Structure 1
């Protein structure tokens, strides 16, 4: 996890996932306790916030942004590629929205990005939007250096001599997008179908934060 301070410094923290319960599940109380979001905190998660429309195999936002992980219309069981990731992320969003901190989500809790405190991002798409030249592989030293330079050009500051991992850089990018919802919302675009709650109480679809085309930000 990346924590971005108002003046630009970035620090990284590791918050382990809670153990599964006796039935092999992740309860909302355990998730909310493991990932505490305070009443003044703003969280941006690199993972799906909701299920697809009934009958759909992928969310519209994921299709538009070419996300490799596809969220179906039912909560997947762990086992296959991305299934545990998708399941855990959807459960985490529900837990953070309904937990003690009650972090409001865009569309279902407020129509204004500046009032929401819980968002979804897909760093892979945003890196492509930011790049002025082809980026190296995200795990390579050169690719990491390119991504770090892009964030530093936006005012983020890392520890001297540090070379964050690609996961840490993705987390820092998410934190920066969250800050833009307060400091420069005109630079952002929420991609996809607005989030809604079905009759069973499940969150469906949901928009992903991304940067606007430069010509559309003016």
Structure 2
């Protein structure tokens, strides 16, 4: 994910993993207006897609300054109990992500864990935090994420898990984070015993806001 409120918003890197584990990359650009209709048009979803986003899906429970999943996984961005105002670090990123999840969920076709189904294998819209999963593989000891060495290490780890990258340039660290998200979604169908969800269950409050929500991670 990128910050849609930045002076020059970066495109959002999207990794697509097919049923055979073949990876391809795309980009999505934020619309000028972040209303639900514009967001759904800017981030189209196919009927059978499983979507995993590297960004917060919901607000914290009332009175909390951080979601439990973010605290447990030591996420640098903290989501409060109200939509943050862009300007301070991570505020625009958090706001844009929460609005995107809300828009995609309003489609009515992307089931979310806890509010729509209790089964990982039936949910189709998830949140992930790649930093936590990379930590489990101790990747930070094998090269910084933006360095050629670090990127090559991450790609090799995902290739060892059965993914096949396109030939050519080494993927960027953002593309590799996106691939990790897509791989976690792939596992919910191919090997659901290898993934679990961390944090408090997602719920919808009386005003229609999604709150808390669990983050997908490798078991």
Q: If the length of structure 2 is used for normalisation, what is the TM-score?
A: 0.91
1:62 corresponds to which of 60, 64, 70: 70
RMSD over aligned Cα atoms? 1.2
Q: If the length of structure 1 is used for normalisation, what is the TM-score?
A: 0.92
1:182 corresponds to which of 180, 189, 193: 189
1:78 corresponds to which of 75, 86, 101: 86
Displacement of 1:54:
0.5
Q: Does 1:9 align with 2:22?
A: yes
SS at match of 1:13: strand
2:143 corresponds to which of 136, 141, 147: 136
CA deviation profile, 1:82-126 (whole Å, cap 9, x unmatched): 011000000000100102x63110000000010000000000000
Structure 2: 5+ residue stretches without partners: 1-13
Query: Once superposed, which parts of structure 1, at least 4 consecutive aligned residues long, lie more than 6 Å away?
Result: none
What is the number of equivalent residue pairs in this alignment? 206
Distance 1:132-1:17 versus aligned 2 partners, 3 A rule: closer
Displacement of 1:133:
7.7
Greater CA deviation, 152-161 or 70-79? 152-161
Distance 1:31-1:132 versus aligned 2 partners, 3 A rule: closer
Matched residues in 2 for 1:85 and 1:198: separation?
22
Greater CA deviation, 66-75 or 5-14? 5-14
Displacement of 1:77:
1.2
Matched residues in 2 for 1:53 and 1:93: separation?
17
What is the match of residue 19 of structure 1? 32
1:36 corresponds to which of 19, 40, 44: 44
Greater CA deviation, 158-167 or 65-74? 158-167
